[in-house]
Amino acid sequence: MPNAESLIWVAAVTVVIWLGIFAYCLALDRRVRRLEEER
């Protein structure tokens, strides 16, 4: 069933992309907080 496999791949890639965006936002938030604390 290639359809099921393709759906699994699409879901996996989507989850990885969302995790990357979430981690990137968290990193930016931490940097902003550090800059605000240094001021």
Does a structural domain hold residue 7?
no
How many residues in the chain? 39
pLDDT (0 to 100) of residue 3? 86
Overall domain count for the chain: 1
pLDDT (0 to 100) of residue 2? 66
Residue 35's domain spans which residues?
Answer: 14-39
pLDDT (0 to 100) of residue 1? 60
Does a structural domain hold residue 1?
no
pLDDT (0 to 100) of residue 13? 98
C-alpha neighbours within 13 Å on the C-beta side of residue 21: 6
Q: What would the 3-class secondary structure string for the chain be?
A: CHHHHHHHHHHHHHHHHHHHHHHHHHHHHHHHHHHHHHC
Does a structural domain hold residue 29?
yes
| pLDDT tens track for 1-39 | 668 899 999 999 999 999 999 999 999 999 999 988 887
Does a structural domain hold residue 23?
yes
Which token pair is 28? 């930016």
